[in-house]
Amino acid sequence: MIPAPRPPNESERLAALARYRVLDTSAEQRYDDIARLAAFLCRSPISTVTFVDRDRQWFKAQVGMPTNETPREHAFCAHTILTPNVMVVEDATRDERFHDSPLVVGEPHVRFYAGAPLITSDHHQIGSLCVIDREPRTLSPAECSALEALARLVIGELELRRSTHELAEMVHHAKTLSGLLPICSYCKDVRDDQGYWKSVEEYVISHSSAEFSHGMCPKCAKVHFPLKPGT
C-alpha cells in the first residue's frame, strides 16, 4: 500500500477541521441520513461520512462499515482530500496504492470506492463522503453528481453546527455580564471570577465583543468644566 502524502496546507486543514468540533461526537440522524442516501443513490452496501484527522480517519456516520475509525495510512479518503473532484477506484486489487491494504485484503474487503471531498467555505478539504462496494464496478455520471451534492449537504450541516456553537458562546457571555458584578464603591473597578480587580472597560472587553468610545456626560462636564460667569 502507498500511504497518501500530507497536503501542503495540512496544519491549516487540521485547524479548519477542529473549528467544527465534530470529531468523536455522538451519532446524529442528519449525518446518518446523508450516509444512507448516498448508499441508496450509488447502489452501494457501504457508505461513510469521513473526517481525516492527524493520524486517523474517523467516521461521523456509516452504513455497513464495521468500525468507527481506521489509521490514516490505510485510508482511501486520505487520497480523496488531495483532489477537488470525486475520486473513483474501480478495483482496489488492481490499484498499486491499495491492493495490499488491510481494508482490501480484510474487512470490509473493499473493491470499489468513490469519495467526494468535503470542501469547506475557505477551501479546506477535511474529509469525504464515500461509497464502497465489495465488487469491482464504476460510478455513473448521475451517481457522481449525487455524491457531490450530498457532500455539499454535509458541509452545510457542519456550518450550521459551527454557527450554533458560536451563538451559544455569545449567549453565555451575555449571561455572564447580566450577573452580579462586585464593583468598588470608590474607583468603580470590577472584581473578576479569579478575584482580580479590573477597570470596567477591561472587564467588559474580556467578557464580550463590545468596544468602548469615551465621552463625558452633562453632569461630569459641569463638575470638571464649569462655565465661567458671564459665559
Instruction: Give the tens place of pLDDT for each residue, 210-221.
Output: 665 666 677 766
Among 173-177, 178-182, 198-202, the range scoring the smallest mean pLDDT is: 173-177
Q: What is the DSSP string of 213-229?
A: -----HHHHHHHSPPPT
User: Contact, 89 vs 104, CB < 8 A?
Assistant: no
The predicted structure's pLDDT at residue 191: 79
The residues near 132 (Cβ < 8 Å, ≥ 6 apart) are 44, 45, 46, 47, 48, 64, 65, 108, 110, 112, 113
In this prediction, residue 227 has a pLDDT band, given cuts at 50, 70 and 90, of: low
In this prediction, residue 3 has a pLDDT band, given cuts at 50, 70 and 90, of: confident
Cell numbers for 79: 487520497
Give the residue ranges of DSSP H helices in 62-109.
77-80, 102-105
- CA-CA distance, 165 to 169, in Å (whole number)? 6
- CA-CA distance, 16 to 52, in Å (whole number)? 11
CB atoms within 10 A of CB 87: 18
Domain edges within the chain = 10-166, 180-224
Among 25-34, 37-46, 57-66, 155-164, the range scoring the smallest mean pLDDT is: 155-164
Sign of the C-alpha dihedral, residues 150, 7, 90, 138? positive
**Percentage of the chain lying above the pLDDT 90 cut:** 67
pLDDT in tens, 71-98: 999 999 999 999 999 999 999 999 999 9
- CA-CA distance, 100 to 31, in Å (whole number)? 30
The predicted structure's pLDDT at residue 79: 98
Cell numbers for 219: 453632569
Among 112-121, 154-163, 180-189, 205-214, the range scoring the smallest mean pLDDT is: 205-214
pLDDT at residue 140 is higher than 90: yes
> Which amino acid is it at 7?
P
In this prediction, residue 176 has a pLDDT band, given cuts at 50, 70 and 90, of: low
Stronger pLDDT, 231 or 13, i.e. the higher one: 13
How many CA atoms lie within 13 Å of 74's alpha carbon, on the beta-carbon side? Answer: 17
The predicted structure's pLDDT at residue 197: 83
The predicted structure's pLDDT at residue 84: 95
CATH topology of domain 10-166: Beta-Lactamase (3.30.450)
> Which amino acid is it at 138?
T
Highest mean pLDDT among 93-102, 163-172, 216-225: 93-102
**Among 25, 24, 50, which residue's Cα sits nearest to residue 38?**
50
User: Contact, 87 vs 130, CB < 8 A?
Assistant: no
The predicted structure's pLDDT at residue 196: 81
User: Contact, 63 vs 36, CB < 8 A?
Assistant: yes
User: Contact, 81 vs 119, CB < 8 A?
Assistant: no
What residues form DSSP beta bridges with 87? 115
Mean of per-residue pLDDT scores for the chain: 88
